[in-house]
Amino acid sequence: MIRMCVKVADTPVVINVLERAQDIEEFVRWVRRHRAALGCDVETTGLDWWSESFRLRLVQFGTEDTSYVVPVELGTELLAAAVGAIRHAEKLIFHHGTYDALALDATTDLTVEEIWPKVLDTKIVAHLVDSRGEADGGVGHSLAALTKHHVDSGVAARVKGSMTEIAKSLKATKAEVWKKVPWDHGGFLAYAGLDPVLAFRLGRRLIAKLPSTVYRKTEIGPGIPPMNLVEFEHKVAEVCALMSRAGIRLDRDYTLRLEARLALEESRWTQRAQELGCGNPWSTEQCADAFEARGVHRFDRTPTGNRKIDKRFLDARREAGDELAETIHQAKAARKKRATWLRSFLESVDSSGRVHPSINSIQARTARQSIQGIPAQTLPAGDWEIRACFVANEGEIILSTDYVNMELRFLAAYANDRRMLNAFRDGEDLHQITADAAGVSRKIGKMTNFLIVFGGGPGALAEQAGISKAEAERIMEIFMETYPGVARFMKEMTSVARRAGYVTTPSGRRLYVEKRFAFRGTNYFVQSGSRDVTCRALIRLHHARLTPHLLLPIHDEVLFSVPAEHADTAARMADELMRETVRGLEIPTDPDRGGTSWGSLYMKGVDTLTRHDDYYREHPDQALADDRRRHPETYAVAA
């Protein structure tokens, strides 16, 4: 047994490292004494838990002042001891437990389903204490940031930064060090041994800081016990972990063909840019020089005075018919799709042809989820080519179910705005109502509605709509006159945020708002409350045993893979389980069955569907029916 002693917050912590089978007995006795709650962590060869080369190296357990490090790579007896400790413990305190659970699932006979009911995740609890990241003025949610604030600033900087020094000493990159560092390296063992102690200490400190509102019970659905916010977030994280574990099939042949085509497009557009005087479309200075040579002299400037060639500039020039702007845009778009997205998909696909997205179940200030690995939330609206890389399970088709005007309905319900409520209940077009009231196009009416929900002001509307700020101010004033209940609610939320420094959502989540930005209180309330609607739906879908068919949650949409012969039944089930009534106003869903690929949901025209999707190629009648349902205006014109 290797024994080390370090100080955390001026108190000694003993780190015990098992070396051989004879050390297991002491470890087992300690686990039995502390089984009620143990900090836990794992060290692995990297983050790619789905890879065939991925290995579990250490499993660590800790209490307030003691930890045991089990080098499971040394043999099956030590591995069995670590697995047995996890099974014996009643509560396991992890930081970012989703990763640890997936790593253990991938390398042992433990499963996410077995581990997760025991988990207290300090990353989740920290978010419920204060959802702000470090950049927003909060503590942040990383183990280092939380340790620095709540436990010991010195140990956070010294020990948590030690792996960088170890990487330098081994002449390894930060990604490689986890594979290369010897298991008995003193710095590595100190780093590893402290993690479960820090998680254990953070668990106790953070639980004590939770606002009382998080213990408010919320109804989830029939047959599901009401949950407080801590229970709720852990259940959402479990469902997201199961989706990550399953992953999504990648059509590798299609992806390789698309990558090759985009490489040719990038080359062609780059050559054309050079012919137009821009030697390097990725050099801002060379682009700006080329535009000036063509008579363009008005540029926005960066804080350092450099000319800006951003999306806004290029879009404006493209609308004016500028060939150079179009060329630069196309070259950049082709490279981004090829290098940023497609190459990432191909490099992260597992041996069975699946990509495993990292679904961060509680992420933004409002708790909205984020997804890494598959850019589901950031792909251009309407772009089907990238989405077509991902396909349904073998013999199945894609089903998407998203909410209809969720945020606006949520706002209408809590603002109790009569005009907005009646519009939704009577099936009126809310965007057209706003447009008619202000005497503008429906497009600008829609922009106004959503900017109100998402906290945008007249400046944002002016920029998006291409109108003057004065006109934008007029439109927003008319919005407030048209929906006086919303105006009163926004004023009330702003007042609460300014007075208390936070707003509290219906589920009991406290969202801090800087007083100078108190006007954002409504936006935080609506976005977070709407996010919780989607997450309650995920739990209901899980409870209905539909988790094997879940692929991704994408803001207010859930993506499924379902047997083609049961697609209509699955759509009805998803609709029934996901729709929710909020304060008497229903938030309905819009199910949409597609073909083999995710991209098929975004294709338009029977010819496109049957040419680019395997399922529709074999079922042209279904292609016609689905296209007619998605784009009735096209068929109405034809008729």
The verdict on residue 274 lying in a domain is yes
Residue 604 region by backbone torsions, left for phi larger than 0, else alpha for psi between -120 and 50, else beta: beta
Q: Are residues 465 and 591 in the same domain?
A: no
Q: Are residues 24 and 84 in the same domain?
A: yes
pLDDT of residue 199: 97
Q: Is the pLDDT of residue 219 over 60?
A: yes
Q: Which residue bears the tokens 């003691």?
A: 66
Mean pLDDT, residues 441-459 taken together: 89
Segment 93-111, tens digit of pLDDT? 999 999 999 999 999 999 9
Which is higher by pLDDT, 460 or 390? Answer: 390
pLDDT of residue 558: 97
210, 238, 266 — which closes off a domain? 210
Q: Are residues 380 and 443 in the same domain?
A: no
Q: Is the pLDDT of residue 164 over 90?
A: no
Distance of CA 510 to the CA centre of its chain: 20
Cβ contact 294:277 at 8 Å:
yes
Mean pLDDT, residues 454-476 taken together: 88
Q: Is the pLDDT of residue 578 over 60?
A: yes
CA distance 141 to 557: 26
* CATH number assigned to the domain comprising residue 326: 1.20.1060.10
Q: CA distances (Å), 340 to each of 58, 232, 373, in order?
A: 33, 34, 10
The verdict on residue 243 lying in a domain is no
Q: Is the pLDDT of residue 391 over 80?
A: yes
pLDDT of residue 533: 97
* CATH number assigned to the domain comprising residue 411: 1.10.150.20
pLDDT of residue 162: 81
Indicate the residue type of 633.
Answer: E
Q: Is the pLDDT of residue 159 over 70?
A: no
pLDDT of residue 585: 96
Segment 270-311, tens digit of pLDDT? 999 999 999 999 999 999 999 999 998 888 898 898 999 998
497, 529, 561 — which closes off a domain? 529
The verdict on residue 234 lying in a domain is no
Q: Are residues 134 and 266 in the same domain?
A: no
Indicate the residue type of 118.
Answer: K
* Model confidence band, residue 348 (pLDDT cutoffs 50, 70, 90): very high
Q: Are residues 30 and 172 in the same domain?
A: yes
Q: Are residues 375 and 450 in the same domain?
A: no
Q: Are residues 397 and 506 in the same domain?
A: no
User: Which residues partner with 81 through β-bridges?
Assistant: none
Determine the structural domain holding residue 560 and report its residue range: 354-402+530-638
Mean pLDDT, residues 594-599 taken together: 97
Q: Are residues 57 and 122 in the same domain?
A: yes
Cβ contact 445:512 at 8 Å:
no
| Bridge pairing between strands 557-563 and 550-554 | antiparallel
| Bridge pairing between strands 38-44 and 92-94 | parallel
User: Which residues partner with 354 through β-bridges?
Assistant: 249
pLDDT of residue 404: 94
Q: Is the pLDDT of residue 491 over 60?
A: yes
Q: Are residues 134 and 50 in the same domain?
A: yes
pLDDT of residue 160: 62
Residue 83: name the closest of 62, 55, 104 by CA. 104
Q: Are residues 503 and 592 in the same domain?
A: no
Mean pLDDT, residues 589-612 taken together: 96
The verdict on residue 216 lying in a domain is no
The verdict on residue 222 lying in a domain is no
210, 238, 272 — which closes off a domain? 210
Mean pLDDT, residues 88-94 taken together: 97
Mean pLDDT, residues 456-482 taken together: 90
CA distance 117 to 97: 11
Segment 9-51, tens digit of pLDDT? 889 999 999 999 999 999 999 999 999 999 999 999 999 999 9
The verdict on residue 590 lying in a domain is yes
* CATH number assigned to the domain comprising residue 142: 3.30.420.10
Q: What is the mean pLDDT of the chain?
A: 94
Q: Is the pLDDT of residue 623 over 60?
A: yes
Q: Are residues 61 and 94 in the same domain?
A: yes
Q: Is the pLDDT of residue 161 over 80?
A: no
Other beta carbons less than 10 A from residue 621's beta carbon: 9
Q: Is the pLDDT of residue 639 over 70?
A: no
pLDDT of residue 157: 74
Could you give the number of structural domains in the chain?
A: 4
Q: Is the pLDDT of residue 198 over 90?
A: yes
The verdict on residue 231 lying in a domain is no
CA distance 272 to 327: 7
* CATH number assigned to the domain comprising residue 564: 3.30.70.370
Cβ contact 220:78 at 8 Å:
no
Q: Are residues 28 and 70 in the same domain?
A: yes
The verdict on residue 270 lying in a domain is yes
Q: Is the pLDDT of residue 638 over 70?
A: no
pLDDT of residue 237: 98
